[in-house]
Amino acid sequence: MKESDCIKVVKFGGSSLADAAQFKKAAEIILSDPARRYVVPSAPGKRFSGDAKVTDMLIECQKSASCGKDFADILKKIKDRFDEIIKDLALDLTLDREFEIIYKNLEKGCTVDYAASRGEYLNAILLAEYLGFEFIDAAEIIFFGPDKTFNSDRTNLFMAERLLSARYAVIPGFYGSLPCGEIKTFSRGGSDITGAVVARAVMADLYENWKDVSGFLMCDPKIVENPHPIGTITYRELRELSYMGATVLHEDSVFPVKIAGIPINIRNTNAPEDPGTFIVSETTAVNPEVITGIAGKKGFSVVHLEKDMMNQEVGFGMKVLQAFYDMNICFEHLPSGIDTMSVIVDSSLIKGKETFLLNKLSRMVNPDNISIEPSMALIAVVGRGMVNYPGTASRVFSAIAKAGINIKMIDQGSSELNIVIGVAESDFEEAIRAVYKVFCKS
């Protein structure tokens, strides 16, 4: 494939486009590679600690307008922010007309989705002008159905035809349109989804997601000082780590590119020389640390059940889960023994319902003992390479034991992609540090 035939979709987060200086960094990155043909921007984020995000201010405008309060001062602050970017970039452009329309729509009682989407819309207009790219409104190519769910097939069809007719284009992130023409947004962080949807539509060779971090780290830097970066991670590993609390990429943004087999590269706008993290379907890359990452969450409870000869009672597990189903409670894990069964749930789902749940389970399965243990944390040790290294689980358990921490639960899938450990919430951070230390010596 010739370099000129390569297609990259690039998405820039709010902090990467917070002011004119960041615009210049982003533009330099985009224009340095002719393959970077389609750009998806977020709304301007915070410029400094204590600053306000443009999207938050727009939502504040809508809330004020819906209560009959004056919102002109807030909207002026937003306009001043964009005008400052225009001035500093020396653009021959004005957004006066756009702000007049937004003001009138706020007065008429526009939806929260409409107001929230205008930051991306306006930022995309500025970035397109600065780059010399075509501006394509996301409302024209991203569609939601009457039930307000994303219409993937229709979007992919229309978007592919429209974008491939444009050599270079900027498409605002975060929103699309309903059949009635109203603006509908994705969930917060949805510009990541837009970028992935665009990448799928044009069958990009690479989806670059530019943020203010140089990719994924092996664990939370608030817990472990200067954790190692992750060079390559598979979609399955990402899913495991994201589910357990690791946050860099919006989870829903993985699906469109995953089904198309398009790799993602998380990069840092402020350190473009860093390679970042590649997210791929499969890889033969060797991980020197054996594990890929460690993540976890607090706020779980364990429902313990004990009953003699439980393993010979047909339907025991089914009845236990039926009780949770009847109460609309999802479970996380089901560690069990011959005469014991534990159900791990998010504590918030059973708060205030503990007695009712215990009574219901007692009636349905008549256990010898039943109890609820609160304040558990779950830690996932994830790595595609663990299956090839004997003794990985032993190293994990030994590290935690040497730290003087009691393991309350162990769950390992047959794929050997991850090991999930339950510890007391008070031991959460120390357990993560212990596991990290044993696999990452330096």
- Residue 4 is predicted with a pLDDT of 58
- Closest to 206 (Cα-Cα) out of 1, 49, 419: 1
Phi then psi for residue 156, to 5 deg, are: -60, -40
What is the third-level CATH fold of 3-212? Carbamate kinase (3.40.1160)
What is the third-level CATH fold of 293-439? VC0802-like (3.30.2130)
Taking CA atoms, 140 is separated from 31, 101, 171, in Å, by: 26, 18, 10
SS3 of 223-266: the string is CCCCCCECCEEEHHHHHHHHHCCCCCCCHHHHHHHHHHCCCEEE
- Residue 354 is predicted with a pLDDT of 96
- Residue 289 is predicted with a pLDDT of 80
- Closest to 342 (Cα-Cα) out of 298, 301, 302: 302
Residues 143 and 185: their CA atoms lie apart, in Å, by 10
Residue at 360: amino acid letter: K
pLDDT tens series, the chain, 442 aa = 444 589 999 999 999 999 999 999 999 999 999 999 999 999 999 999 999 999 999 999 999 999 999 999 999 999 999 999 999 999 999 999 999 999 999 999 999 999 999 999 999 999 999 999 999 999 999 999 999 999 999 999 999 999 999 999 999 999 999 999 999 999 867 899 999 999 999 999 999 999 988 999 999 999 999 999 999 999 889 888 887 877 767 667 888 999 999 999 999 999 999 999 999 998 877 777 889 999 999 999 999 999 999 989 999 999 999 999 999 999 999 988 899 999 999 999 999 999 999 999 999 999 999 999 999 999 999 998 887 788 889 999 999 999 999 999 988 765 668 899 999 999 999 999 999 999 997 6
Domain ranges within the chain, ordered by starting residue: 3-212, 293-439
What sign does the dihedral 223-227-231-234 (CA atoms) show?
Answer: negative
SS3 of the chain: the string is CCHHHCCEEEEECHHHHCCHHHHHHHHHHHHCCCCEEEEEECCCCCCCCCCCCHHHHHHHHHHHHHCCCCCHHHHHHHHHHHHHHHHHCCCCCCCHHHHHHHHHHHHHCCCHHHHHHHHHHHHHHHHHHHHCCEECCHHHCCEECCCCCECHHHHHHHHHHHHCCCCCEECCCCEEECCCCCEEECCCCCHHHHHHHHHHHCCCCEEEEEECCCCCECCCCCCCCCCCECCEEEHHHHHHHHHCCCCCCCHHHHHHHHHHCCCEEEEECCCCCCCCEEEECCCCCCCCCCCCEEEEEEEEEEEEEECCCHHHCCCHHHHHHHHHHHCCCCCCECCECCCEEEEEEEHHHHCCCHHHHHHHHHHHHCCCEEEEEEEEEEEEEECHHHHHCCCHHHHHHHHHHHCCCCCCEEEECCCCCEEEEEEEHHHHHHHHHHHHHHHCCC
Is the pTM value of this prediction over 0.85?
Answer: yes
Phi then psi for residue 109, to 5 deg, are: 95, 50
